[in-house]
Structure formats: C-alpha cells, structure tokens
Structure 1
C-alpha cells in the first residue's frame, strides 16, 4: 500500500485515477478547493486548500510525506516552484499533468524532445500571466530544473470520454443534431486524442514505474477532422453544417490550421501503450449520439 496525494481528482480522468488507486487499496488523500463535491466518501482523506496559495499550501502540508504526488491542477511556474520547495524531502515521485500544448510548433508525430524543459528559460509568474500552453511550459521548466525529487510530466492531448465536463466531443454531435453551424480552420488536419480511461491508467503507470522526465500519453492512429465529422453524421443521421474560419461562437474546440498530433513511441518503450484511436473513438461517438 502506498501513501498518495492527488491535487484535483474530483472530475473526469482525475476522478478515474482516484477510483483506480482506491481499488488497489492505497491510502489516498485528495486536495481540492472544496468547490466540487466528491463521491469517494470515507475511502479518501480530503484536504481543502487553494493550490495557488503558497502560504496555505505550505501550512497544510508542513507535516507528512508521500510515496507519490499527482498534480492535475498546476498551471504556472510560481505554483510549480511552490511544490518543489514545499515537498522537497517529502515525496518519492511527483507526477505533473502537462499537455500537448507545450509544443509550440504544430506538426505530425511530435516527440518529447520537441520541447526541452531542462533548458527552457524560466520566467516566474502566476496563471494569469501566461497562455495555457506557456504556463505549462514554464511549470515543466521549473519542475525539471528545480525539483529535488523525481518528476514525470505527462503530456496529454485532448482527453475524451463520456464524462468529459468540457463536452468537447459532445458539442460536435449536438451541433449536427440541432443543425447548427460548426467551423474549422482545416478539415483535413489530424489531431491527437486519448480516452479518459487511458489517461488515468497512464498517470497510475507514471507514478508506480521508475520513469522520469516528459512523456507523451496519446492513442496511436489519427482521424482527420473531416473523417471525425463523417462519423458524427453517420451516427446522428444528419449532414453537418461545416464552415471554414467562422467565429468564436461557431468554432470547433478542435479547430487547428494543420496536423497536430504526438508520437507515443517513448511511452510504449517504457511499458504503457494506449488503446488505438480506431478501437474507441467510433464507439464513443456512437454512445454519445444516442
């Protein structure tokens, strides 16, 4: 049994991670702001803390140590530095949820060395000082340059699942069903995705294995946005009203100008392979269309 701290963990793949850890019999503590109710009951310890408040974080975790810490809610270098300092000597492993958005240059089969956090210039600041992608780049840079404990940065693409509270896939299905316009920048562009079950599974793997450093966690295979919309059309039974460019109101969450997907070769070599996209995405679209 391991002693595990999870920042976040009440929604989507973070919740699935906690459920997985509980099922394995580990002692799990979740740390949240307390704004989202959790369904774990007495199976977890629950600490209410503001992840962005350094003093509060330091006070809350002044005592205790952990085998693994999972951080799903770090978005800035200041918050990363706080973790490096507060948890020094208190954890054997730190797993940071990062993103495909660390890759500034869009492209195909992007590998981990497309972004080097070990030599990236650190600029300290809070979440509002950076774009989402730059905030994650800066956080990675801090973790890998300042932490005294082993760190894994898990770079996720778009995470999909029935329980996706952001409803990024749902909106495509709903717009087709309601005959609303949805706009793209390039319908031939291909993107990376991962199923929420695989996302939680990879986080578990990252914590319990000996790996360290940045890792892409993504399904193999790709669909163009045109192919994705054709699957939606087939299941909904209506033709999509697709526009190019569009505006903020009509633009798809998947609107990218060119291919943007990652390689999972390094992760496979380490011992974890996500389900191929073709195995789960068509089924998920079918399920959400019902």
Structure 2
C-alpha cells in the first residue's frame, strides 16, 4: 500500500509514521526538509504543499492513501481536492475533537455529536474543512475520511495552561511557584498517547469501509484535571501549588486562553470510542497517563532544547493570579 503523509513527523503523526512502516506500508512524507525526527524506511519528497511549484513531484504518483496532517483552512482543502481527485483511493483529513458542540448538551461524545464551535477560529475553520469534504464526497465521490484527535501527546505536555509546546507550568512546579487549574479541577477529560492513537489511525489506512465516515480516536481513561496536573507533578517529583480559578475569570483577564478553555477544556467530556473499535477491532489504548507522561518528561530531559519556558505565558499566569488574589482580598 502506497501512502503519502503531508507532514508526518509531528507530535501526533510521528508514532503513526513509525507504526505504518512497521506494518510494511510504503510510506512517503512530503515536507520542507526541516524534520528533526528521522524515521527509517520513509521515502521523503521535498516540498511545501502550500507552494504549487514545489509539489510537481506529486503529480507523478497515484496513491492508495493521502493523509494531510497540516490542513487547517477551507483553502487547504480546496487545494487538496484539486491535487488528489482521481489520484488517491482514500484521503484522510485530520480534524479536531474541539469541533464538537460547545457547550455540550450531552457529555458523552459520539461521532454524531453536532459540530458547532464558534468560540475558537481553529475549531471553526476545521468545521468548515469538514463541510467542504462532505460536499466533495456527496457530489463528486471524493474518497474522504475524517479523523478527530483530542489532546494527544508524545513530545508535549497535555495540560490547559502553560503546557503543550511549552514547559512553562512544569518549570513552575519544579520551582515551587503557583500554577493555575481552571475551574475546581473536577471536570473530566481524556488525554491520549500518540502511540495509542496510531493503533486506531493506521488501522484506517486503506480501509474502504471507512470512506465517507468520521472517527475520533482517544483513550478510554477518564481523568479529572486535578488528577492530570497531580500526575504531572508527581512525575516531576514535586508538589504542585495549585490555585483553582474559574475559566470565565481566566479568560476575562487573558482572552488568549478563550480557545483552549471556554472553547475546549472548560467542561467535562467523555468520548465513546465504539465506532473506531468497530472499524478497527485491534484498536485498544493501553498507555495510562501516569506512564505516558513519564515517557514525555524523559524525552524532554534528553532533548532539553525543547523545554521552552515562555516568558509571556509566565507573565499571563502571574497577572491572573495577582488579579484573582486581589479580588479575593
């Protein structure tokens, strides 16, 4: 099976690339040559998908599957439909579970949960991408599949404030500084290790029955935010000095957190993974967060250049804490 990953060496996609190679898939990566993650067995095509003159090599190939890990806007989708219509048997778009109805009218999410999130441009654009692909499938037979990850991690720290591509909150824990947990910390969430995500995702590659369908792929482990931050602190070997602050207050002081909080992580969500398990029976998430985050922290220790402590995030956290303390006083 001949598969093209546009991207393929990111936080989520690297594990899927490795598993695809392990399963004997003939895997190509289209990238700009900036990847720092060597994956043995991958064939590389040098180019930027956003520059038409740099992707002429793609026209020489017919693909069994094309996966775009870095499509974010309807314009990206229009380009891909034009590029790959008649050139691939399956096209997989990486959407986002943040596209689901916000706020939720029912906390258990299935793939039929309405898509509606007007609070975050990222999610709104992903919804528009899905709409265009659904239209192309219905009217033109474009062989699309939609996959919606949710807070998937490997080389990032999956927390709401001062994490993901930052080491800011981890550094605050190590230094004994106060950290913020939104709300009272009891709302429920799911974090998924990329190695687990890959099991479900790679199982969809080339699966004819999946065409026209959407899937989310997450762990079945449900944790409160207090538990997520507590496990992080324990894995760092330090106590977390937590201040609980309402999401609405946080976003009123720092509107830049609206996307990650009010548009995504402020409420409890529970993902029903029945559909991906039905289509890919071998899918099972086996890496609990207490194990996975230790792997992430070890990787960061081995690659300290990725421990990005963002001074702007620190300033925002301190400002929110100061305003909250003043309000309480």
Hey, which of these two has a bigger chunk of helix by percent? 2
**Shift in alpha-carbon separation, 1:101–1:249, aligned structure 2, 3 A:** closer
For the 8 Å contact 1:173–1:288, the answer to whether it is kept is no
**Shift in alpha-carbon separation, 1:60–1:115, aligned structure 2, 3 A:** farther
User: How far apart, in 1, do the equivalents of 2:77 and 2:54 lie?
Assistant: 12
For the 8 Å contact 1:191–1:261, the answer to whether it is kept is yes
The correspondence for 1:86, drawn from 83, 87, 91, is 83
The Cα of 1:132 is off from its aligned counterpart by: 0.9
The Cα of 1:90 is off from its aligned counterpart by: 0.9
**1:242 alignment partner in structure 2:** 243
**1:67 alignment partner in structure 2:** 64
CA RMSD of aligned residues (A): 3.0
**Shift in alpha-carbon separation, 1:35–1:232, aligned structure 2, 3 A:** closer
**Shift in alpha-carbon separation, 1:170–1:58, aligned structure 2, 3 A:** closer
What number of residue pairs does the alignment pair up?
272
For the 8 Å contact 1:184–1:251, the answer to whether it is kept is no
The correspondence for 1:284, drawn from 263, 273, 292, is 292
- Whether 1:143 and 2:109 are equivalent positions in the alignment is no
For the 8 Å contact 1:67–1:92, the answer to whether it is kept is yes
TM-score, L = length of structure 1: 0.81
Alignment of 1:24-103 (within 5 A): 24-40=23-39, 43-53=41-51, 55-56=52-53, 59-103=56-100
Moved more, 71-80 or 175-184: 175-184
TM-score, L = length of structure 2: 0.72
When Rg is computed on C-alpha atoms for both structures, the one with the higher figure is 2
**1:158 alignment partner in structure 2:** 151
User: How far apart, in 2, do the equivalents of 1:101 and 1:264 lie?
Assistant: 16
For the 8 Å contact 1:229–1:240, the answer to whether it is kept is no
| Unaligned 5+ runs, structure 2 | 299-329
**1:266 alignment partner in structure 2:** 275
